[in-house]
């Protein structure tokens, strides 16, 4: 079977890129797999790509490239949804190249990995192929305008795959898609190439984009409470982003310059997690929680806010990690200090976390995708008719509203009762 993944930019750094490459590598054991990058901004990818997986860049955005001089490069995209936050990075040249690729794509399965790319998939991919949209962000993270743009396109696909069961339930409730299989398959995280943490270093690690939603400010404030009682412990925050300067000022203002540090971006992050004894997540929301699984794979327990939607599906509170209320500085500090003060409990939790993390091995998750492909092929005819019946009912309802007709009630047969 031939499988194609559509990525925004396979040459960058990010959780979607990593998990796509992980899944592509696992599927390459049984299939012919390629990753199609809408654009490229450097010569080689930042993440190592399995040589069995073919990488196909469509538009080279580097200033010296021929693509960057094409007149279409300077025209705004007409096909990428306007409400998608990456819209400003797309143009008519990308539209054209994507349409050309998809219309001639020989793949049996085509998988999109972000909302705007999934719209391309719906618009241009051949109907003979299975067309699957992955959602790496929460439904609620999309604006109302974007959700309205996505709905008619997602309803033409074969499946929508979220990273959590909770988010799949939200899609089923708020974006009904007759004939479209809506389900959750978590991101895969391979076993790291480093030995598990010994759990003895007085280090708390955290990682992610330095943006407001990740609440590194809350973590720094909580650590200020912690360091007064545990002065030997250090906080290391890995990542880059718009909040870097503000967070640095906060560290200095709280007198934490000697104990809390912004480390910059590291890849792979597992090498740094393995040097820590705890990992902290203070986010207001997580669509999945790659950082949590990556830490657990290194034998490091995670203290996380119980934010929607991912952490509670990954961490078993009190066994493989700790969950605390979102936005609660004291609860976060208290949970960290409980584990800092109790090395045996910390080690037991680390062992349980390491064992639990094996559920995210790429191989079994790739088999779940294989099962999905088989199910979608087998149910294609039934799903086609399900979609057709739903479309017909919707048209009848619109006509009834247009002409002010109330839904007809069935008349009971003579001597009988009306149906319930």
**How much is the pTM?**
0.89
| Tokens coding 343 | 């090395």
> What is the token pair recorded at 70?
């094409």
Residues 96 and 158 in one domain: yes
CA-to-CA separations, 335 to 180, 217, 331, 400, in angstroms, rounded: 42, 17, 6, 58
Q: Which residue has the tokens 């996505």?
A: 150
Q: Is residue 157 part of a domain?
A: yes
- Residue 415 structure tokens: 């001597």
Burial 131-147 (b: 16+ CB within 10 A, else e): bbbbbbbbbebbeeebb
Q: What is the pLDDT of residue 406?
A: 67
Residue 64 lies in a domain: yes
Same domain, 29 and 66: yes
- 120 and 240: one domain? no
Residue 260, strand partner residues: 235
- Torsion angle in degrees (nearest 10) through CA of 25, 28, 32, 38: -10
Please give the pLDDT value at position 325: 98
Q: What is the DSSP letter of 111?
A: E
Same domain, 135 and 78: yes
Q: How far apart are CA 412 and CA 401, in angstroms?
A: 25
285 and 180 in a common domain: no
Domain boundary among 326, 360, 394: 360
Residues 89, 224 within the same domain: no
Q: What is the pLDDT of residue 407?
A: 58
Does 179 lie in the same domain as 66? Answer: yes
Report the DSSP pairing between strands 2-7 and 109-112: parallel
Q: Output the six-digit token pair for 258.
A: 């000697």
Contacts of 294 (CB under 8 A, 6+ apart): 189, 192, 207, 269, 270, 273
Does residue 297 form part of some domain? yes
- Token pair for residue 209? 């984009």
Paired residues of 281 in beta bridges: 304
| Six-digit token string for 215 | 């609440």
Question: What count of other Cβ atoms lies within 10 Å of the Cβ of residue 315?
Answer: 25
CATH of the domain at 39: 3.40.50.2000
Distance CA 168, CA 184 (A): 6
Closest CA to 6 of 29, 49, 36: 36
Query: How many C-alpha atoms does 19 have within 13 Å on its Cβ side?
Result: 27
Instruction: For residues 268 and 265, give the distance between their C-alpha atoms in angstroms, rounded to a whole number.
Output: 9
Domain for residue 382, yes or no?
A: no
Pair (207, 168) in one structural domain:
no
- Structural domain count of the chain: 2
Q: Are residues 236 and 274 in the same domain?
A: yes
**Last residue of one domain, picked from the residues 342, 360, 378:** 360
Distance CA 272, CA 238 (A): 9
Query: Could you tell me which residues are beta bridge partners of residue 323?
Result: 304
Nearest to 122 by CA among 91, 167, 162, 79: 79
In a domain, 335, yes or no: yes
- Tens of each residue's pLDDT in the chain, 420 residues: 999 999 999 999 888 999 999 999 999 999 999 999 999 999 999 999 999 999 999 999 999 999 999 999 999 999 999 999 999 999 999 999 999 999 999 999 999 999 999 999 999 999 999 999 999 999 999 999 999 999 999 999 999 999 999 999 999 999 999 999 999 999 999 999 999 999 999 999 999 999 999 999 999 999 999 999 999 999 999 999 999 999 999 999 999 998 999 999 888 899 999 999 999 999 999 999 999 999 999 999 999 999 998 999 999 999 999 999 999 999 999 999 999 999 999 999 999 999 999 999 999 999 999 999 999 999 999 999 998 888 888 788 888 888 887 655 544 443 343 333
Task: Single out the residue in 310, 331, 360 at which a domain terminates.
Answer: 360
pLDDT of residue 388: 86
What CA–CA distance (Å, rounded) separates 149 from 153? 8
In a domain, 385, yes or no: no
Say if residues 283 and 214 touch (Cβ distance below 8 Å).
yes
Answer yes or no: is 197 within a domain.
no
Domain identity same for 59 and 180: yes
Structure tokens at 370: 């294989």
C-alpha to C-alpha distances, 44 to 27, 37, 68, 237, 352, nearest whole angstrom: 22, 12, 18, 27, 38
Residues 41 and 177 in one domain: yes
Residue 6, in any domain of the structure? yes
37 and 107 within one domain: yes
Q: What are phi and psi of 281, to 5 degrees?
A: -130, 120
Pairing of strands 181-184, 203-207: unpaired
Query: 106 lies in which domain range?
Result: 2-184
φ/ψ of residue 394, rounded to 5: -65, -40
Of the candidates 312, 317, 306, the residue with the CA atom closest to the CA atom of residue 282: 306
């Amino acid at each position: 079977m031939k499988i194609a993944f559509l990525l925004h930019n396979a040459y960058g750094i990010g959780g979607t890129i990593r998990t796509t490459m992980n899944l592509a590598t696992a599927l390459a054991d049984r299939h012919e797999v390629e990753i199609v990058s809408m654009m490229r901004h450097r010569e080689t990818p930042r993440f190592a790509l399995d040589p069995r997986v073919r990488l196909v860049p469509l538009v080279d955005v580097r200033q010296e490239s021929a693509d960057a001089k094409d007149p279409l490069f300077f025209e705004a995209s007409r096909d990428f949804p306007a409400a998608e936050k990456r819209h400003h990075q797309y143009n008519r040249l990308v539209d054209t190249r994507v349409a050309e690729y998809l219309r001639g794509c020989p793949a049996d399965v085509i998988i999109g990995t972000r909302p705007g790319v999934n719209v391309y998939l719906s618009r241009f991919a051949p109907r003979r192929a299975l067309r699957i949209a992955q959602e790496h962000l929460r439904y609620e993270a999309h604006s109302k305008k974007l959700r309205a743009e996505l709905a008619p396109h997602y309803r033409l696909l074969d499946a929508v795959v979220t990273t959590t069961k909770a988010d799949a339930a939200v899609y089923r409730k708020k974006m009904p898609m007759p004939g479209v299989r809506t389900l959750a398959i978590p991101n895969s995280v391979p076993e790291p190439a480093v030995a598990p943490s010994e759990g003895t270093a007085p280090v708390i690690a955290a990682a992610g984009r330095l943006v407001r939603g990740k609440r590194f400010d809350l973590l720094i404030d909580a650590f200020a409470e912690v360091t007064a009682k545990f002065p030997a412990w250090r906080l290391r925050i890995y990542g880059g982003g718009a909040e870097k300067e503000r967070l640095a000022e906060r560290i200095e203002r709280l007198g934490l310059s000697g104990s809390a540090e912004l480390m910059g971006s590291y890849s792979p992050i597992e090498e740094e997690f393995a040097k820590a004894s705890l990992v902290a997540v203070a986010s207001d929301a997580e669509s999945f929680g790659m950082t949590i699984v990556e830490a657990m794979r290194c034998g490091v327990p995670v203290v996380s806010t119980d934010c929607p939607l991912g952490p509670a599906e990954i961490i078993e509170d009190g066994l493989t990690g700790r969950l605390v209320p979102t936005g609660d500085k004291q609860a976060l500090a208290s949970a960290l200090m409980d584990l800092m003060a109790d090395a045996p409990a910390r080690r037991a939790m680390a062992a349980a976390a390491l064992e639990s993390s094996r559920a995210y091995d790429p191989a079994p998750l790739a088999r779940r995708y294989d099962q999905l492909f088989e199910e979608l092929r087998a149910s294609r005819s039934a799903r086609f008719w399900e979609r057709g019946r739903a479309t017909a009912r919707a048209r009848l309802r619109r006509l009834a509203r247009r002409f002010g007709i109330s839904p007809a009630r069935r008349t009971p047969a003579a001597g009988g009762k009306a149906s319930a």
